[in-house]
A and B are shown apart, each in its own frame.
Chain A
């Protein structure tokens, strides 16, 4: 059963990821990316990470993709603006390079895991909880062991927010500034 779910979600994720890259219109790309995020959230559920599955939907499919769609709508990109000058050599060289990276990755993982048996026969230790993946353990670890990185993250978000506002702000023309001053 879990194999069937895994393969359905994996095929959905890979197919949607290919569509993200190959579709001409940026809006369809963004919507396919939402599909990738949602199927990855399903895989997180399959792995038992329920909290992160919820976070994946809320943060990625909710916040980040809305930001993408907002920018695409704001810029009002036309369909025929791209693809006309894509260098052919670059395109195929990129594809070959990606296949090389993929084969390397799979070979290295296969070599590293050749004597790792995922289905361990060892039973859980008596008296330890079964559900280690719960939000309880994530929160406990995040706010004790990783409290400092968590605080640094908030500074990062603040810096990103201020940076985004400053970069995207419309520059005032000098004469308007003089009139106001």
Chain B
């Protein structure tokens, strides 16, 4: 069993690469990919924590009956996965709207370089 810390460190590395991509790139599509990378890193952290919920919660549910304990641990572990499910949905919605905006900007400016898009800058 790989320890939880390994997954969290990997998740922070991936998140940082995503931030780096957003800061470095001038191409709007690459910036979007950086955002997707950050969302994925967060998903990895959430799943790593939810998989370790069993070890954390087992020491708190010693007194209750087995079926109740199963309920508590199961719903706690599934909650993290439900959150990842919702993050995926939000990522899909964000990608659809964001790419539509990029297409719209490309029609207007003939470019997807974010330095060219400064019409809302004071």
| Chain A interface residues (CB < 8 Å from chain B) | 2-3, 6, 10, 13-14, 17-18, 20-21, 26, 29-30, 33, 36-37, 40, 43-44, 46-49, 51-52, 55-56, 59-60, 63-64, 67-68, 71-72, 74-75, 77, 81-83, 85-86, 90-91, 93-95, 97-99, 101-102, 105-106, 109-110, 113, 116, 118-120, 122, 124-129, 132-133, 137-138, 140-142, 145-146, 149, 153, 156-157, 159-161, 163-165, 167-168, 170
Cβ-based interface call for B121 (8 A): no
Contacts of A113 in B (CB 8 A): 4-5, 8
The binding surface of chain A is classed by DSSP as helix
Find out whether the CB atom of A67 lies under 8 angstroms from the CB atom of B99.
yes
Residue in contact with A47 in the complex, picked from B37, B47, B55, CB distance below 8 Å: B47
Find out whether the CB atom of B106 lies under 8 angstroms from the CB atom of A75.
yes
Contacts of A6 in B (CB 8 A): 2, 6
Bound-state Cα–Cα, A170 to B104, Å? 8
Residue in contact with B88 in the complex, picked from A60, A71, A124, A170, CB distance below 8 Å: A60
Contacts of B4 in A (CB 8 A): 113, 116, 118
Residue in contact with B104 in the complex, picked from A77, A127, A168, CB distance below 8 Å: A168
Residue in contact with A21 in the complex, picked from B21, B55, B107, CB distance below 8 Å: B21
Find out whether the CB atom of B24 lies under 8 angstroms from the CB atom of A102.
no
Find out whether the CB atom of A71 lies under 8 angstroms from the CB atom of B24.
no
Find out whether the CB atom of B34 lies under 8 angstroms from the CB atom of A109.
no
Shortest distance between the CB of A82 and any CB in chain B (Å) = 5
Residue in contact with A98 in the complex, picked from B23, B79, B84, CB distance below 8 Å: B23
Chain B residues numbered 94-113 whose CB sits less than 8 Å from any CB in chain A: 94-97, 99-104, 106-107, 111-113
